Amino acid sequence: MNMTKLNQVYRCNVCGNIVEVLNPGEGKLVCCGQEMELLLARKTDVGPEKHVPVIENFDNKIKVRVGKVPHPMESNHYILWIELITPKKSYRISLNPGDKPEAIFPRPKSKKYMVRCYCNIHGLWHDLEEKMKF
């Protein structure tokens, strides 16, 4: 039997639904009559668009920018969300076309955290200096 893991992200390849696991369990996640695809976060950019989150620390906050060169935020290609995950809390900022591909979060008290983002075309990405394994 399959076992999901906390904070895994799944996508339905029929309708586009995206699900994040909040409570792991046995079984398969199914949508539109098909098993959902487990998305594995990438951390190396390829091509002109940049997706790897870049983290800047200031005051008691963390600013996350998507890409060293800002990711496009056009109606057909944009970042849907940026997320900061710690062992006890998750923060997510939803974005729309035309927004800046960035988010500001409170600086985590834990030294273990991960930042990731989701591009509507290229999928799930996380920072190069991943501090937490899932």
Q: List binding-site positions for Fe cation.
A: 12, 15, 31-32, 51, 71, 77, 119, 122
Provide CB contacts within 8 A for 16, sequence distance 6+: none
Question: What DSSP string runs through 43-83?
Answer: -S--SSS--SEEEEEETTEEEEEETTTTPP-BTTB-EEEEE
Are 118 and 17 within 8 A, CB to CB?
Answer: no
- From the annotation, which residues make up the binding site? 12, 15, 31-32, 51, 71, 77, 119, 122
Instruction: Give CA–CA dist 9/16, Å, rounded.
Output: 12
Distances (CA, A) of 72 to 19, 31, 67, 113: 24, 29, 10, 26
Please name which of 36, 43, 42 lies closest in space to residue 10, comparing C-alpha atoms: 36
